[in-house]
């Protein structure tokens, strides 16, 4: 957390709030958050104009006017809030020449900011080995089936969360996608019928855009770029609902361990 819908929400909002703004200075309160020599980082961003904010998988890519990009990973508890309150968990503050500012908070300090030359960005992403973007035109049913056939012995939920398989899906949305598709999270890919694979693909294309339209899901510390909570949680069907009745059939939602993570599903609605 944040997953694709949350990062996409922040990306869209930042493009409205900080695009074309000029950075006057940056204040770094936690040097380890910046994966770049600190003095060089401060010098590099000073005077740069924000040209665009993009997203790849769960990463934000802030394009600067000087040929560099800031690659930001919010990890579990990161926040980027425009004109946000500056507190004890604020580790970076970007001040703009018009008097506005952007705060980077991170309670657990797992996130980072990397500085990369725009010319080397494609090379960086190749090393990360990201899978296809699920909301791109290139992500067709044919592509999804092709990728799935290469991972026949994998269990479907961990596979959906594998960033080298599909970019951006995490624990919450994998649970919700599989409920929508009617497929148990512990099914082996090779056991899935063609129609079930199609239903998973269709669920991806429905759940992710819907979550974006609701500003994402505020689990724990997630806030959008304006400091507001996402409201997709009101639509959640199984995630973290273990022991509660299914909204469809009233059966108790089950919670099982899958490696270091948990999976939630309805034993009647999902087969």
Q: Is 261 a catalytic residue?
A: yes
CATH number listed for the domain at residues 4-128: 3.20.190.10
Largest CA distance in the chain: 59
pTM for the model stands at 0.95
For residue 2, is the peptide bond before it cis, meaning its omega torsion is within 30 degrees of 0?
yes
Q: Is 108 a catalytic residue?
A: no
> Which tokens sit at 8?
């996409």
Choosing from 19, 51, 114, 261, the catalytic residue is 261
pLDDT at residue number 219: 83
Residue by residue, pLDDT tens for the chain (271 residues) are 799 999 999 999 999 999 999 999 999 999 999 999 999 999 999 999 999 999 999 999 999 999 999 999 999 999 999 999 999 999 999 999 999 999 999 999 999 999 999 999 999 999 999 999 999 999 999 999 999 999 999 999 999 999 999 999 999 999 999 999 999 999 999 999 999 999 999 999 999 999 999 999 998 899 999 999 999 999 999 999 999 999 999 999 999 999 888 999 999 999 9
Q: Is 223 a catalytic residue?
A: no
Choosing from 3, 8, 17, 176, the catalytic residue is 3
Domain 141-265 has CATH 1.10.8.50: yes
Q: Is 63 a catalytic residue?
A: no
Choosing from 11, 21, 55, 58, the catalytic residue is 58
Q: Give the residue extent of every domain in the chain.
A: 4-128, 141-265
Query: Among 33, 31, 44, which residue's Cα sits nearest to residue 78?
Result: 33
DSSP 112-130: EEEEEEGGGHHHHHHHHT-
pLDDT at residue number 26: 98
Cβ neighbours of residue 191 closer than 8 Å, sequence gap 6 or more: none
**Cα gap 136→138, rounded to integer Å:** 5
């Amino acid at each position: 957390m944040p997953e694709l819908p949350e990062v996409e929400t922040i990306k869209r909002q930042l493009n409205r709030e900080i695009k074309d703004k000029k950075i006057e200075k940056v204040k770094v309160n936690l040097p380890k958050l910046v994966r770049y020599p600190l003095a060089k980082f401060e010098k590099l961003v000073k005077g740069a104009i924000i040209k665009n904010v993009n997203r790849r998988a769960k990463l934000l890519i802030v394009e600067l006017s000087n040929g560099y990009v800031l690659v930001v990973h919010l990890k579990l508890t990161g926040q980027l809030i425009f004109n946000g309150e500056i507190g004890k968990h604020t580790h970076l503050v970007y001040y703009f020449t018009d008097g506005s500012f952007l705060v980077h908070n991170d309670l657990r300090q797992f996130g980072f900011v990397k500085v990369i030359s725009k010319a080397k960005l494609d090379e960086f992403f190749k090393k990360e080995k990201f899978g296809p973007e699920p909301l791109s035109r290139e992500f067709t049913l044919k592509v999804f089936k092709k990728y799935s056939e290469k991972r026949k012995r994998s269990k479907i939920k961990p596979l959906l969360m594998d960033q080298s398989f599909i970019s951006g899906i995490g624990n919450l949305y994998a649970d919700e996608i599989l409920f929508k598709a009617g497929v148990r999270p512990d099914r082996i890919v090779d056991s899935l019928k063609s129609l079930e694979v199609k239903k998973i693909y269709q669920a991806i294309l429905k759940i992710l855009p819907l979550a974006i339209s609701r500003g994402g899901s505020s689990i724990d510390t997630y806030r959008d770029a304006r400091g507001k909570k996402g409201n997709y949680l009101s639509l959640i069907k199984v995630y973290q609902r273990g022991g509660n009745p299914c909204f469809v059939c009233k059966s108790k939602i089950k919670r099982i361990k899958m490696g270091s993570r948990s999976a939630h599903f309805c034993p009647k609605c999902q087969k």
